[in-house]
């Protein structure tokens, strides 16, 4: 799940305090080119207000109509399907014959939602388990290995910052990158031993980590859900971070710099550090997709676009894949 989790949770808690009833709707399974992936969710208030999204809009409109006409009077979760036929797919704006299954919770457990909100606010991962026809909801600790799981009866969704981004440097580009990355569900950590930069760092929701970049990379024990982006433009700092990050299982390692400087960096890493050619080849530099970025926010967009492509399996060492396919990870319900 992404950063929209907290937005949905804040909305339903606010609605509950105001005395409104609400339903939760979660995408459990999709076929074809469905607009939103499994795990996407939305909250639907008794007067038709919406927070979150499960499609491009048409399905939300149908759900709002159902709520306004008393369509969700059950007290236990139920299953709904959209786009099963070609006519229905066209009606609800599902391209290429897409279809989806939605789990509807007409009367969600507010205490469980409060628990989930608190865990996310503390930077924790959580698993939320609901079963069709049963009122009880389970909130348990999650891990980066967890995935959305649906067996037709029980749905497990994962909430919180499943992905980590370590930014080396607390400059202007880092500010935009940190803000945008949080919206994509990253827990953002920033390291900059230069006091003239770190003293001015003030991006809510991020963590300023003290120490030298190489030490911080080692201490974080990076995993395949971690990314490292070096943005200081100072080889003494960036290269130190890259030295350790390229040896780690981090899914993305990038560094700011021109094509010429990036090539010189690769040569330094091979000549002076204990790195193999394969490890150096993992470096994304110049960092980000080549979209003609000039300003700090444009550079941040380019970096996150490339990170997203790598994270979603749409990237090879030769660049973006010509065609993307959607795959739902397998899972086990225990």
- pLDDT tens, position by position, 249-278: 999 999 999 999 999 999 999 998 889 999
Mean pLDDT of 309-330: 64
Query: Order of strands across the sheet with 149-150?
Result: 137-141, 126-131, 154-159, 149-150
E-assigned strands of the chain? 22-31, 41-45, 50-52, 78-82, 99-105, 126-131, 137-141, 149-150, 154-159, 163-168, 186-191, 207-208, 226-230, 252-255, 283-284, 315-316, 319-320
Segments making up each domain of the chain, as ranges: 4-159, 163-320
Q: How far is CA 188 from CA 181, 183, 213, 281, in A?
A: 7, 11, 15, 25
Higher-pLDDT residue of 236 and 321 is 236
Distance CA 274, CA 276 (A): 7
Q: Which fold has domain 163-320?
A: Rossmann fold (3.40.50)
pLDDT category at 315 given cuts 50, 70, 90 is: confident
Average pLDDT, rounded, for the chain: 87
Spatial neighbors of 25 by CB under 8 A, at least 6 apart, are 41, 42, 43, 44, 54, 63, 102, 103, 104, 105
- How big is the CA angle at 186 (ends 230 and 239), to the nearest 5 degrees? 15
Question: Residue 1's pLDDT is what?
Answer: 46
Could you tell me the two tokens for 287?
């960092």
Q: What are phi and psi of 29, to 5 degrees?
A: -155, 145
The answer to whether residues 119 and 126 touch, using CB atoms and an 8 Å cutoff, is: yes
Global pTM reads 0.66
pLDDT category at 5 given cuts 50, 70, 90 is: confident
Distance CA 161, CA 63 (A): 29
- How big is the CA angle at 65 (ends 59 and 70), to the nearest 5 degrees? 125
Q: Kindly tell me if the per-residue pLDDT of 291 is higher than 80.
A: yes
Question: Residue 202's pLDDT is what?
Answer: 94
Strand partners, 105: 24
Question: Residue 154's pLDDT is what?
Answer: 97
Mean pLDDT of 211-216: 96
Provide the angle, in degrees to the nearest 10, between the axes of the packed helices 4-17 and 110-121. Answer: 140
């Amino acid at each position: 799940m992404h950063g929209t989790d907290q937005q949905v949770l804040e909305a339903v808690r606010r609605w509950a305090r105001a005395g409104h009833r609400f339903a939760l709707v979660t995408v459990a399974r999709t076929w074809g080119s469905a607009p939103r992936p499994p795990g996407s969710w939305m909250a639907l208030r008794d007067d038709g207000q919406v927070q979150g999204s499960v499609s491009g809009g048409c399905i939300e409109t149908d759900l709002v109509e159902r709520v306004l006409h008393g369509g969700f009077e059950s007290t236990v979760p139920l299953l709904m399907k959209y786009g099963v036929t070609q006519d229905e797919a066209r009606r609800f704006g599902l391209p290429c014959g897409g279809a989806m299954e939605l789990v509807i919770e007409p009367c969600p457990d507010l205490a469980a939602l409060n628990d989930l909100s608190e865990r996310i606010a503390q930077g924790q991962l959580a698993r939320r388990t609901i079963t069709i026809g049963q009122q009880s909801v389970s909130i348990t600790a999650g891990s980066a290995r967890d995935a959305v799981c649906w067996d037709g009866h029980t749905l497990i969704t994962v909430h919180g910052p499943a992905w980590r981004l370590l930014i080396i440097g607390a400059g202007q580009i880092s500010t935009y990158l940190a803000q945008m990355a949080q919206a994509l569900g990253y827990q953002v950590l920033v390291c900059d031993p230069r006091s003239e930069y770190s003293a001015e760092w003030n991006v809510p929701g991020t963590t300023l980590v003290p120490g030298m970049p190489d030490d911080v990379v080692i201490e974080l024990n990076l995993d395949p859900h971690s990314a490292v982006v070096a943005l200081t433009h100072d080889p003494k700092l960036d290269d130190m971070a890259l030295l350790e990050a390229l040896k780690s299982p981090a899914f993305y390692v990038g560094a700011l710099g021109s094509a010429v400087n990036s090539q010189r960096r690769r040569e330094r890493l091979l000549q002076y550090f204990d790195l193999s050619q394969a490890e150096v080849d993992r470096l994304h530099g110049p960092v980000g997709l080549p979209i003609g970025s000039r300003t700090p926010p444009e550079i941040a967009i380019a970096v996150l676009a490339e990170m997203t492509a790598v994270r979603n399996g749409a990237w090879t060492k030769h660049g973006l894949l010509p065609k993307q396919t959607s795959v739902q990870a397998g899972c086990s319900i225990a």
